[in-house]
Amino acid sequence: MGDNGAGRKVAGLLRRLPGADFASERLQAVERGLLQQLKRRMDRLEPPSSVSVLAVAMRSVADRSAAGPGGGISLQDLLHRSSEQGHDEAKAEYFGWVTSQLLPDQARILSAMSDGSTYPLIHVLAGSRIGLTAEPVVEWISSIGRNAGVQWNDVTPVYLGQLRALGLVETGPEDLSRRVQYEMLETEQVVRDGIARLHKGGLKGHIVRRVLMLSALGRAFWEDGRVSEDVSESFAGLVG
pLDDT of residue 135: 87
Query: Are residues 57 and 154 located together in one domain of the fold?
Result: no
pTM metric for this prediction:
0.65
Residue 233 lies in a domain: no
- Total of domains in the chain: 2
pLDDT of residue 235: 43
Residue 210 lies in a domain: yes
pLDDT of residue 139: 97
Query: Are residues 73 and 143 located together in one domain of the fold?
Result: no
Q: What is the pLDDT along the chain (240 residues), one digit of tens a residue?
A: 444 444 445 445 445 555 555 555 655 655 556 555 555 555 554 444 444 555 555 455 455 555 544 456 788 888 888 888 888 888 888 999 999 999 999 999 999 999 999 999 999 999 766 655 678 999 999 999 999 999 999 999 999 999 999 999 999 999 999 999 999 999 999 999 999 999 898 888 899 999 999 999 999 999 888 743 344 445 445 544
Dihedral sign, CA of 129, 131, 132, 134?
positive
From the list 63, 45, 29, 49, the residue with the least C-alpha distance to 92 is: 49
pLDDT of residue 209: 97
Query: Are residues 47 and 119 located together in one domain of the fold?
Result: no
Query: Are residues 116 and 210 located together in one domain of the fold?
Result: yes
Query: Are residues 87 and 175 located together in one domain of the fold?
Result: no
pLDDT of residue 78: 82
Enclosing domain of residue 52: 3-101
Residue 235 lies in a domain: no
Among 49, 83, 101, give the residue marking a domain's end.
101
Among 101, 132, 163, give the residue marking a domain's end.
101
Q: How far apart are CA 204 and CA 228, in angstroms?
A: 50
Q: How far apart are CA 5 and CA 3, in angstroms?
A: 5
